[in-house]
């Protein structure tokens, strides 16, 4: 396990992503009173990355506790792509893939799962290892590696 790293949570981004409403009940939120909730609970391996956080009202956050959502993978993928497009997911400076190519790969992500300290996102032929709101490494693979 790597040392903990502080991740700044952009409350305004989460508020705007959800159009100022509670993710769970849809009631209007106020910036000063909203809660930040882990969509996949930390107890189940959820991270502080922007694709795993939602704005909620305090009562919904308290009710949810460690409830496991059914659509974690699809929600993580959608929020990851949105956060990447909104520049809330960064790319490690040592990754030198052309921006247009990277955008194409990100937009073809179809799978996500936890792997140690990372959340892994897969597109056809590529795995993105993400933590602390940053793509830390990209690994190319061939479909035959998965099928074997």
Other CB atoms closer than 10 Å to residue 53's CB: what's the count?
A: 25
Mean pLDDT of the chain: 89
Is the model's pLDDT at 20 over the cut of 90?
A: yes
pLDDT tens figures, 23-47? 999 999 999 889 999 999 888 888 9
> Per the domain annotation, does 62 fall within a domain?
no
Domain contains 23: no
The answer as to whether 116 is a domain residue is yes
Contact 83, 89 (CB under 8 A): yes
| 117-138 average pLDDT score | 96
Q: What is the pTM of this model?
A: 0.87
Residue 115 lies in a domain: yes
Domain extent, residue 123, equals 88-147
Distance CA 96, CA 58 (A): 42
Q: Is residue 109 part of a domain?
A: yes
């Amino acid at each position: 396990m790597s040392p903990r790293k502080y991740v700044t949570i952009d409350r305004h981004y989460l508020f705007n992503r959800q159009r100022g409403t509670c993710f769970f009940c849809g009631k209007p939120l106020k910036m000063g009173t909203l809660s930040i909730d882990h969509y996949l609970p930390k107890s189940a391996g959820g991270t502080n990355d922007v694709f795993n956080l939602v704005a909620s009202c305090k009562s919904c956050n308290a009710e949810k506790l460690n409830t496991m959502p059914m659509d974690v993978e699809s929600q993580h993928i959608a929020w990851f792509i949105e956060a990447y497009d909104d520049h809330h997911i960064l790319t490690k400076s040592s990754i030198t893939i052309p921006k247009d190519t990277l955008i194409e790969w990100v937009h073809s992500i179809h799978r996500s799962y936890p792997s140690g300290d990372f959340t892994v996102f897969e597109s056809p032929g590529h795995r993105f290892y993400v933590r602390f709101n940053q793509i830390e490494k990209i690994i190319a693979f061939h479909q035959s590696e998965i099928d074997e």
